[in-house]
Structure 1
Amino acid sequence: MSKINMVQALNATLHDVMAHDDTILVMGEDVGVNGGVFRVTDGLYEKYGRERVIDSPIAEAGILGVAIGMAMAGLKPVIEMQFSGFSYEMMHQLEGNASRMRTRSRGQFTVPVVVRIPYGAGVRALEHHSESKEVYYAHTAGVKVVIPSSPSNAGPLLKAAIEDPDPVIFMEPKRSYRAFKEEIVPKDYAISKADVVESGDDITIISWGAMVRDTLKAVDAVRAERGFSPEVIDLLTLSPMDVDTIITSVKKTGRCVIVQEAQQSFGPASEIIALINDLALMYLQAPVKRVTMYDVIMPLFARESMYLPSKEKIIRAINDTLDF
C-alpha cells in the first residue's frame, strides 16, 4: 500500500463517505471549484456537483447558521472554516444554537454538523492563521472537539465525527498536513477515546495534534541517551476527554509531562493536571510538568519557531520529571 499524507487521508475519507451517504454535503469558502485552500476538498465538486459541494460567501456565521438548519432537517453538513482565526466569527451560532439545540428541544433535534478548522503554527502563515485555540471550543458544553495527529487517524476520526449526532469541531493541525506520510492500516478510532501510542512504566507523556510527532522525537532522544520506558498518549479528543486512559496511566507511572501547542494559561494541560490532582494525586512521584507556548500573541513567521514548544524543551521536561 502506498503512503499518503494527512490531506490525502482526509480527502479520501470525504470521497468515500459522500459516495455512500447522499445526506452528507460539504460547504465553505473555496471548498468547491478551487478544492479548498489546502486541497482537502479537491475533486469533490467535480464528482458530486454544486448541490453537495457548496462554495459559500465569506461569512463564517452564515456558513454555520445555514449548516445548523440543514442538520436539523436531516442532512449531515461538513463545513470548513478556512483558517482557525476566522472561526471566531461563527462563535455566536456555535454557542448559542448548535451546542444547545439538543437540550433546548429536549432531544427532539440534534445538530450533526462537523466543523473542520485548520489550526496551529509552523507553516509561516500570517496573523490570525496560526493560533492554537482549541480550549475555546472544548469549553463549550454540547460540542465535541477532535484533533487528529497523523494520516493514520485523521480519516477514521473524520468519519466518526460525521457519524456523530452532535456538533463536532474537527481541528486539523496545518503543520501535519504534508509533513509526513504513512501507510494506512485499517483501524477504528472512536471519538472520546485516546490512543496509547507507546506503553511504558516510567512516565506518562500526553499530547495531541502536531505536538505528538515532536513529542515522539523527544522520547526517542531521551531513550537513546538514558534508556527509559515511557507511556505516550495521543488524546485525539479534547472534549469529551478520555479521563480513564489518562488516570490509569498516571497511576501506573507516577510521573507525567503534558505537551500542548497552545499558550500555557487556562489551556487543556491545566485541565489534565486538575484531573490528575483529583483522581491520582497520591500516586504521583513528581510534579506534573507542562511544555507549552508562551502567554503572548502568536508572532509572525520570522519568530514562530521560538514560540513553539521545541524538542529540546520537551526533552528537558522529561528529564526533570524523571530525576525529581
Structure 2
Amino acid sequence: SLGLFVGVHLVEKCQKEGRRCALVAVHMHPLYPSATSAHVNFPHAPAWLPGRGLYHRLTHHLGWHGFWQLLRRPLNSARRTVLGLPALSPRQLYRRAQQPWPTLYAYSPTMIPPPAALPAHATVTGYWVLPPTGTWQPPAALCEFLAAGPPPVLISFGSILGGRDPNRMTELLVAALQHSGQRGLIYRGWGDLGNIPLPPTILAIESVPHAWLLPQVAAVVHHGGAGVTAATVLAQRPAVVVPVFGDQQLWAVRLQELGLAPAPIPRRWLTAARLAAAIAQAIGDARLATNLQGMAPRLQSEDGVGRAVTWLHTHWQYQPENI
C-alpha cells in the first residue's frame, strides 16, 4: 500500500536521527496472494471460474509490481528533497518495501478468510469498531422524518458517486426510491448530492454516525467501501452496492457470495429501474435477513481491536537490520 511504501523511508529517517521507531502496516482489505480474492485493482473472479485461485494469486503479483513501478521515481525524489536521504537503486527500494514489517489486516476473517500461507508477520484481526461516544445529538429534522413513517432506505456514497453532475445523480436516486415505493435518506457527502428540491418522502442529510442511524433504516445503498460494508453487516441491514473502483468491487462480490446482499450494480450500469429492483430485492428477500442475523454476531465476537493489541504485544518488531 502507499502507506507502507512511504513508511519504510520515514523509519529510516528516524533511525538516521537516532530516534527509535518501528513500522506497523494496517490495511482495510487483502493485499496478499489469495485463492479467495483478487487484487483490488483487478476484477473479482466468480466462484465457478476454473483456475480462480491461480488468477487471484497472479493479480496480486501484477498489482504489486504495477503499483511499484508508478511509485519508485516519486519515492526517490521524496527521499532526496523531503527527507534528505540518498537516492536508492530500484532494487534497494523494492527490497525495503518487501521486508516482513508487522502487518494488521483490519477486516473480518469471516468475510474474507485469510490464506493458510499468510506469513507470520501478518494477521487478520477482525473489524475495528469504535464504541458510540454518547455526545452526538441527531438533528431534529432527521428525528421527525424517521418518526413520520416506515424505516427509510439510506443512500450513502460518501464522496464517490456525485460526479460532474450531482443533480442528475440525485434525480436518478429519487426516481429509484419512488419506483420501489420506499422513503429515503440521501447522504450529501462530498459528492454534493441532494441539492435539488426533494419530495416529502426523501430527506437529504449530513454526516450521521452509522451506529445510531443504521438500526433505524430498512436497507443501505452504498459504494462498497470497507467501512460502510462492515457497518451495514454489523447492523444487520441488507445492502445494495454500486462499486466504482478499488476494493469496492471485492466487498460487493463478497456480500453477494455470502448471501448478505443482492448482485451489485456497477456504476456504469446504474439506472433508476435497476436500482429500484435491487432495493426491492434487498428489503423483500427473507434469506438475506436470515443470513445477516447469523453473520453479525460472528463479526462482533471477533474483537478486532483486542486481537490487534494482543498481536502487537507479541509481534511488535524493531528491525534496524532491514533499513
How does the TM-score come out when normalised to structure 1?
0.28
Higher helix share: 2
Structure with more relative contact order (C-alpha pairs < 8 Å, separation 6 or more): 2
Q: State the structure with more CA Rg.
A: 2
